[in-house]
Amino acid sequence: MYDRLGIDQDLPFQQRAWRYQRLAWGVLTLVLIGALLGLFGQGPLADASMVDASGTVRLDYERLTRFDRLTYLTVSLSGDPAADALEILLDTPYAEAVVLHQPMPASARMDWTAEGVRFRFPRVLGKTMIVKLLLSVKSAGPVRGRIRVNQGDWLTFTQFVYP
């Protein structure tokens, strides 16, 4: 019948084209699912948290973020009633890779030291203290940071910054 209509058919070519279309639909589906889960920022895959060895310091941050977009580091300190202040130290390479905005609550003091940027917050004894450091990253790509609370152990984290 196709010969009478003057239409050429190439069945192997058509089957390859269908295979490529199914593959493209599968890739698009995976990208859509990744986007919904936060693969490109703001979602369950983008958020991360860690706890120090003693279990008193918790760091929440965005593992995946965007260039020049406001992001956060949230530090929670429970216990440790002997300390009258909460000191948070961001190491120098990370502090130079970001633009620091006003922390919440407003810090009593912020100093640049040889180790990095030190924030000192007055502490309410007996309560869990939560500090949110707002910042934006200056460049795209992976950014490695370290944070230390009250002379404790360093917590090392990595953020990937999309352009």
Q: Which amino acid is at 16?
A: R
β-strand 57-62 against 47-51: which pairing, if any? antiparallel
Q: What is the pLDDT along the chain (163 residues), one digit of tens a residue?
A: 556 666 777 888 889 999 999 999 999 999 998 888 877 767 788 888 999 888 888 999 999 888 888 888 999 887 655 667 788 899 999 999 999 888 888 767 888 888 889 988 887 666 778 889 899 998 889 999 999 988 888 999 999 988 8
- Lay out the sheet containing 109-112: strands in order across: 64-66, 155-162, 141-149, 85-91, 116-122, 109-112
The Cα 157–Cα 97 span in angstroms is: 14
Q: Which amino acid is at 162?
A: Y
The Cα 146–Cα 92 span in angstroms is: 9
What pLDDT does residue 80 have? 57
pTM: 0.76
Q: Where does 47-162 sit in CATH, by number? A: 2.60.40.3670
Domain ranges of the chain: 2-37, 47-162
